[in-house]
Structure 1
């Protein structure tokens, strides 16, 4: 690693000071609102029949449907184990994009797909 290189691959090292500060503030805001897949899976395991993991991810309509149907009599809950991780990534991606857009930061689209 050369002097001046950032140890973090997404760090805005080449930006001017005020722009770097804006990006760092946006990253901090994102860190405070992003969802953790471990928490989502733990909620699925404990209160999955009641849609607890869906409430955590902000899927209020689906959460209420799961609450009143007991997770589709358990079928919906069992199937959700395959979709929780993907839903967490989707929620995090949209939250990050909203934060960056609100601050006027344009991100590399190819990095977002990974």
Structure 2
């Protein structure tokens, strides 16, 4: 949150931003958890269920991770997918609160 350009933020606006940030913190996905789930349940798509990719999760579940191929490929994409999911969730929450979010570092 950068207030240097606009000056001090009114109290009601600060509370609105804090509520939005709090809501985002409650739905934010953790990279470590996704990696742990990939390591323990990758073949059945546990990490994909955690990230909300239900269709892909079910496909991995019934094909045992594409016979292991999808599971191995996901090793390269777990971190990127967590960042994408968090970016989408943050943007949706900020839009719902009417906040223009210029944050690039999640």
**Quick check: TM above 0.5?**
yes
1:1-114 equivalences in 2 (<5 Å): 10=1, 14-108=8-102, 111-112=103-104
Q: Is the 8 A contact 1:35 1:92 kept in 2?
A: yes
Q: Is the 8 A contact 1:66 1:72 kept in 2?
A: yes
Structure number with the bigger relative contact order (C-alpha 8 A, sep ≥ 6) is 2
Unaligned ranges ≥5, structure 1: 1-9
CA-based RMSD: 1.7
The ranges of structure 1 where at least 4 consecutive aligned residues each deviate by more than 4 angstroms after the TM superposition are none
Question: CA offset at residue 113 of structure 1?
Answer: 6.5
Q: 1:11 and 1:76, CA in 2 relative to 1: closer, same or farther beyond 3 A? A: same
Unaligned ranges ≥5, structure 2: none
Normalized per residue, the structure richer in helix is 2
Question: Normalized against structure 2, the TM-score is what?
Answer: 0.91
